[in-house]
Amino acid sequence: MPPIILASTSPFRREILTKLGLEFTSCPPEVDEQAKPGEKPEELVLRLAIEKARAVAQQHSSGLVIGSDQLAVIDGEILGKPGDHANAVRQLQHASGKTVIFYTGLCLFNAETGKYQSEVVPFKVIFRQLSDQQIENYLNAEQPYNCAGSFKSEGLGISLFERLEGDDPNTLIGLPLIRLVRMLEAEGVQII
């Protein structure tokens, strides 16, 4: 089996990938993550997933490199990582009672052949109506300031939601495993 390399420094993506029981290494991708003028969120995450995988693949003579990128979008506006408490409060107030769509770009790049598979996987989060006190309580408990949309769905963030809509709950955390398994199998890697 070729080496599996995760083109990411995200501890969340590393944790998700361990679910597949594969040995893998992680390598930080060096790419400019700025959007191009007029680039739609789906186009941006797909381009960045491919660029991340390609950048890491260029450092290896063989291996399958997994690239991923994710954006949260509400009312056509991209929600980034809040960075601090005040921005997180604003993001959650804006999300209250609304639907946030997460677009996750996924790429599996074969470093030996230069061929790759890529896809954008959407996932919807429908927020319940949140009071300012609920938002404060949540942020004080989890401090999700490095998470797009200001929540950790794998933790207490689940209490913020009315419902979730999507094919794979791992997508919400940043790595769509169902799609990745299919991509790996197309490269001859059998998971089970």
Residues annotated as catalytic are 69
The H-assigned helical ranges of the chain are 11-17, 41-57, 85-95, 132-142, 169-173, 177-186
Q: Would you say 4 and 26 are in contact if contact means Cβ atoms under 8 Å apart?
A: no
Residues 6+ apart with CB under 8 A from 82: 88, 90, 91, 144, 145, 147, 150
CA distance 101 to 93: 16
- The DSSP output letter for 26 is E
Beta bridge partners of 110: 64
